[in-house]
Structure 1
Amino acid sequence: MLTVLLNGYQTFAQGKLNQVQRFSFIFGLYSRSQIMERRKFLGAISLAGLAGAMTPTSLMATENQPIELKVKARDEREFWWKLLYKIADPVTSNLANGTFKKNMLVEKSPSFDSRSIHVTYLEAVGRTYAGIAPWLALPDDETKEGASRKKMRNDALQGLTKCFDPASPDQLNFKTDYQPIVDAAYLAHAFLRAPKALWEPLDTLTKDRIITAFKSLRNRKPFSSNWLLFGSMAEAFMLSVGQEPDLERLNKGIKKLNDWYKGDGYYGDGPNLAFDYYNSFVIHPMMVDTLKVLVDHSMATQKEYDLALSRMERYAVGQERMISPEGTFPPIGRSITYRTGALQALSQIALMEKLPKTIKPAQVRAALTLVKKNMYEVPGTFDKNGWLQLGFVGHDPDIADYYTSTGSLYMATLSFLPLGLPATNEFWSAPAEDWTARKAWGGKKFAKDYHVDY
């Protein structure tokens, strides 16, 4: 039986099977009559080799096999930073060259609404910068990663001077539509995450232009939803750089989201609970980081911050458990075209080194690595010029929401926040471990889970 399986695997890897035959081959590995031989088969192949041969969407769990099979932690980090560079470079390099709007081929949802398509450019910039900021904040070094990071940082800074220059073809729009409220907040988040890398090196004129652009948004009120935190985030950033904030806008997001808290780590998006990923896309990260600024300026108490952080930690526990043994997560709710941006909350808790004792950093790294492989190695994810395309896994414009266009997709970078931890940190240096669902479905011991009352 093992010989048959190995021969079948060689045929599979050479691409000689059609879709039905590929499925039959994979399914055959799971038939009851082959379980014992399957264990021998899987033991003969590394996870990395199997992932390279199969399409990511067809990966199956390897029963009771540790995820570290011939995969070294440093190789995982290299995979992460190269993938982040691949995603973000079309944005930052084109900004630096003054060719951003010229070269970004904009794709919009078939149901796209009446908002100006020009908002997509600020979306791409704000969301990309928010995701790359922690990585760019690391000091320079002589490694290949260090050289790539330095180039991207320089491009990002040069790009900011151009996209806020009124004479530039890449000038970003803050004056019309409501959407800039959202993406100014993500850019503000980037500045808060990496002030010494992305804010302090800017010249005075560019800083003044950015602050003026942010203040221009005050003539539009955020909608009564998670959007309230966008206003709070932008005002928190301005407070952090010595500007007088709009106090109502600054505090309203914090107050209303606390009023809408539902328990066990979930905030409502408005008065009702929305079963989607907006607690991760927006609410927890912006709530915690806005409160940090308020605490630093004696405008909120440490107790308020600690409560918000505890709720975020609880939510992150749930996110880690939602990653399946195969390295997938449920495509629930709206905005799933933001792909791995859905895991920002877990990624930020890992960056902050606030994971609970029951979750090892290396198991989060291993889980997120496989999720990224499954999601970004699928044909159609990127266009021929390297820009992200609409879809969840691969290219599927029909799954996009009415507010989604190319720039929206760069929320994907928000799952790369742990790259802000140095390579020597436990998150990157410890041997990979199975994550909770992999342990549970592999018959291994795993931590119990209980709701919390805060």
Structure 2
Amino acid sequence: MKLPEPDHALSPHTGLTREHWVATADDLLDAAWRHASPDQAFLDLPGRPSRSGVRSDGLEGYARTFLAATFRTAHGDDPHHWLERYAAGLAAGTAGEWPAILDVGQPMVESASVALGLRLTKPWLWDALPEPVQDRAEAWLRESLRHVPAANNWYFFPYTVASFLEQAGRGDDETRRARERAMDLLQGWYVGDGWYSDGDGRAFDHYNGWALHLYPALDAHLNGRPITTHLREHLESFALLFGADGAPVYFGRSLTYRFAAASAVGLGAVTGETPLSPGHSRHLISNTLRYFLDRGSLTDGLLSLGWHGPHEASLQPYSGPASPYWASKAFVCLLADASHPLWTATEEAQDEDRTLALPGPGFLVQRHGGVTRLHNHGSDHVRPFEGEHASDDDPLYSRFAYSTSTGPTSRHNVPDNHISLVFRGDRSVRRRIHPLGARDNWAASWHRPVFEANQPMVPGLRVESVTAVWGDQELRVHRVVGAPPGMKAELTGWATDLPSALVPIRGWTGETAQTAPQGTAFTATAKVTTLTADVEGTVTLAAVAVLGGTVEDVDWDARVDEVLKLTLDAD
């Protein structure tokens, strides 16, 4: 990728300016368009197909790159004539080439990118289309209003289609209902601290920023209406979830969208709904963009399926060759023109150490030494109708801790940052998480251990857990309640090639080091420290973990009693 020379006067930390963002968009688009179909309706990028099939994957290539092109050209600047190509593809795609939008189908996802792109470039693309093409486009898009979305952020795909149709003078009761339905659901998913669950249940992840805030907040901004999605409050905590090197915290699904994680920061700057200064906002988005560009995210100019480079465990079954191009959402920052403070203010890095408890999602954020750790006592991605008995482990949601410099091990390796109970040869997983509170420097939760072979639940068995932090030190306290004779407990630490430690404080009697041969998104292989103990009845277990440091010589046993009094033993 050929970028302009860095400007270290305006951007002393990253060297990146608006011109670098524009050039990045152009280079990504140029590489993707080498794989366009003759009629320009599909961008058939190389790579493993998704479960939706190659036609859907080709539509995904068109729609997601279209979003980058329209953010890039939203002020009418289109020297590479991107919009002419997308107009031709729209005409061909809506003439019967594109797959139909059906219930919970991938084309519904892509309809939102098509609709938002048409809205952002309406004077130059939509208004120049022949009326028959407009009518065909409306007919294809409108099917998203008539079919069932997945029960989560997907409701904002028909919402975005409806918003465009209304702005194009084609609104009606059907578009109004689609918009009202999504906003009503969003209100029910709000838990506080600026965070929404991605659907019913407790699934908190990067979808907050690149979907649940982005679609309704951007729509309100474009319509000149007040923004009601708690975006400013969300950015208070979300801005901490980036390392000093620009890495987002690696947690939740769809991580192959990479620098889309910074889209909420750019959106806040564009709309003014942000607690961050313009210079701080630019540092966060540019540092994240540079993080991925500098670490091999591109293969032959294309975003690969992975994190740094290709990485299978970062993917989901719905991931296809063009899926990474939801990273296009980061280019929402280009809606701020060259005179906007986002681009004219001097870049500011704010990497001071900080701890923040978020009782809404059940998170404890620990930033120290340029690395952010996210201690998870509230996000599990378990749907209410699934219950607590399914034994599928989801490493992207079930672990007790995530960070900006480590990734969870795969579900086929030893789990990191996890407590499991071993009974009759079966190992438990953590499914539904029940928050018990978060305040100051601690967060707590409990869960019922679910065993991998789906053996009957042990009546009364539960694990109560607390994480408390001081600086870079993590005290992990677990109380096993109702353990039958013959049960063992295992606690694991960070999976990393960085200096780390997991030191027993109370109850643990054994220690081993296990290898995760599939590694993580950050390292090819990883060592995981494991503590073990026999448990029966009610047993309290405690250990201290550190990432990138050493355990301090303090009276940790006294701190265990102090933490228990504040949390699990509190009146």
Q: State TM-score, norm by structure 1.
A: 0.69
> For residues 377 and 218 of structure 1, do their structure 2 counterparts lie closer, same or farther at Cα, with a shift above 3 Å needed?
same
> For residues 322 and 398 of structure 1, do their structure 2 counterparts lie closer, same or farther at Cα, with a shift above 3 Å needed?
closer
Aligned to 1:267: 196
Aligned to 2:79: 147
Q: How far did 1:78 drift?
A: 2.6
Q: Distance in 2 between matches of 1:288 and 1:279?
A: 12
Q: Distance in 2 between matches of 1:162 and 1:205?
A: 12
Aligned to 2:299: 383
Aligned to 1:26: none
Aligned to 1:52: none
Q: How far did 1:97 drift?
A: 5.4
> For residues 226 and 432 of structure 1, do their structure 2 counterparts lie closer, same or farther at Cα, with a shift above 3 Å needed?
same
Contact kept, 8 Å, 2:279 with 2:346, in 1: the verdict is: yes
Aligned to 1:81: 22
SS at match of 1:86: helix
Q: How far did 1:124 drift?
A: 2.3
Q: How far did 1:218 drift?
A: 4.1
- Work out whether 1:164 is the aligned partner of 2:94: yes
Q: Distance in 2 between matches of 1:284 and 1:227?
A: 13
Aligned to 1:136: 73
- Work out whether 1:360 is the aligned partner of 2:289: no
> For residues 333 and 176 of structure 1, do their structure 2 counterparts lie closer, same or farther at Cα, with a shift above 3 Å needed?
same
> For residues 292 and 325 of structure 1, do their structure 2 counterparts lie closer, same or farther at Cα, with a shift above 3 Å needed?
closer
Aligned to 2:326: 411
Contact kept, 8 Å, 1:351 with 1:418, in 2: the verdict is: yes
Q: 1:307 aligns with which of 204, 208, 228?
A: 228
Aligned partner letter, 2:85? D
> For residues 306 and 424 of structure 1, do their structure 2 counterparts lie closer, same or farther at Cα, with a shift above 3 Å needed?
closer
Aligned partner letter, 1:242? G
Q: How far did 1:93 drift?
A: 6.4
RMSD: 3.3
Contact kept, 8 Å, 2:10 with 2:347, in 1: the verdict is: yes
Q: Distance in 1 between matches of 2:43 and 2:23?
A: 25
Q: How far did 1:100 drift?
A: 6.2
Q: How far did 1:138 drift?
A: 1.6
> For residues 217 and 427 of structure 1, do their structure 2 counterparts lie closer, same or farther at Cα, with a shift above 3 Å needed?
closer
Q: Distance in 1 between matches of 2:237 and 2:326?
A: 20
Q: Distance in 2 between matches of 1:174 and 1:437?
A: 50
Aligned to 1:194: 121
Contact kept, 8 Å, 1:92 with 1:156, in 2: the verdict is: no
In structure 2, stretches of 5+ residues that fail to align are: 355-366, 371-438, 441-571
- Work out whether 1:427 is the aligned partner of 2:364: no
Q: Distance in 2 between matches of 1:426 and 1:236?
A: 28
Q: Distance in 1 between matches of 2:322 and 2:200?
A: 29
Aligned to 1:348: 267
Q: Distance in 1 between matches of 2:228 and 2:286?
A: 30
Contact kept, 8 Å, 1:324 with 1:438, in 2: the verdict is: no
Q: Distance in 2 between matches of 1:330 and 1:373?
A: 15
Per-residue CA deviations over 1:146-176 (Å, capped at 9, x if unaligned) read 634xx2233333333333334xxxx322245
Q: Distance in 2 between matches of 1:96 and 1:147?
A: 22
Contact kept, 8 Å, 1:96 with 1:155, in 2: the verdict is: no
Q: 1:226 aligns with which of 128, 153, 164?
A: 153
Contact kept, 8 Å, 2:39 with 2:88, in 1: the verdict is: no
Aligned partner letter, 1:307? T
- Work out whether 1:250 is the aligned partner of 2:179: yes
Q: Distance in 1 between matches of 2:173 and 2:302?
A: 36
Q: How far did 1:351 drift?
A: 2.0
Q: How far did 1:217 drift?
A: 3.4
**Highest relative contact order (Cα 8 Å, sep 6+), 1 or 2?**
1
In structure 1, stretches of 5+ residues that fail to align are: 1-46, 50-64, 141-145, 297-301, 444-448
Q: Distance in 1 between matches of 2:247 and 2:10?
A: 14
Contact kept, 8 Å, 1:281 with 1:345, in 2: the verdict is: yes
Q: 2:167 aligns with which of 240, 258, 262?
A: 240
Q: Distance in 2 between matches of 1:92 and 1:230?
A: 25
Q: More deviation in 430-439 or 275-284?
A: 430-439
Aligned to 1:38: none
- Work out whether 1:401 is the aligned partner of 2:316: yes
Q: Distance in 2 between matches of 1:433 and 1:289?
A: 25
Aligned partner letter, 1:241? A
> For residues 127 and 317 of structure 1, do their structure 2 counterparts lie closer, same or farther at Cα, with a shift above 3 Å needed?
farther
Q: Distance in 2 between matches of 1:85 and 1:215?
A: 30
SS at match of 2:191: strand
Q: Distance in 2 between matches of 1:237 and 1:437?
A: 42
Q: How far did 1:415 drift?
A: 0.8
How many pairs are equivalent? 353
> For residues 235 and 48 of structure 1, do their structure 2 counterparts lie closer, same or farther at Cα, with a shift above 3 Å needed?
closer
> For residues 67 and 291 of structure 1, do their structure 2 counterparts lie closer, same or farther at Cα, with a shift above 3 Å needed?
closer
Q: Distance in 2 between matches of 1:315 and 1:416?
A: 19
Contact kept, 8 Å, 1:88 with 1:413, in 2: the verdict is: no
Percent of aligned positions with the same letter in both sequences?
A: 21
Question: Which of structures 1 and 2 has the bigger CA Rg?
Answer: 2
Contact kept, 8 Å, 2:217 with 2:228, in 1: the verdict is: no
Q: How far did 1:213 drift?
A: 0.4
Q: How far did 1:67 drift?
A: 9.5
SS at match of 1:262: strand
Aligned to 1:104: 45
- Work out whether 1:320 is the aligned partner of 2:246: no
Contact kept, 8 Å, 1:322 with 1:437, in 2: the verdict is: no
> For residues 88 and 315 of structure 1, do their structure 2 counterparts lie closer, same or farther at Cα, with a shift above 3 Å needed?
farther
Contact kept, 8 Å, 1:189 with 1:237, in 2: the verdict is: yes
> For residues 139 and 180 of structure 1, do their structure 2 counterparts lie closer, same or farther at Cα, with a shift above 3 Å needed?
closer
Per-residue CA deviations over 1:95-132 (Å, capped at 9, x if unaligned) read 59535647522424xxx54x334222222222222333
Alignment of 1:26-45 (within 5 A): none
Contact kept, 8 Å, 1:96 with 1:158, in 2: the verdict is: no
Contact kept, 8 Å, 2:101 with 2:108, in 1: the verdict is: no
Q: Distance in 2 between matches of 1:323 and 1:437?
A: 12
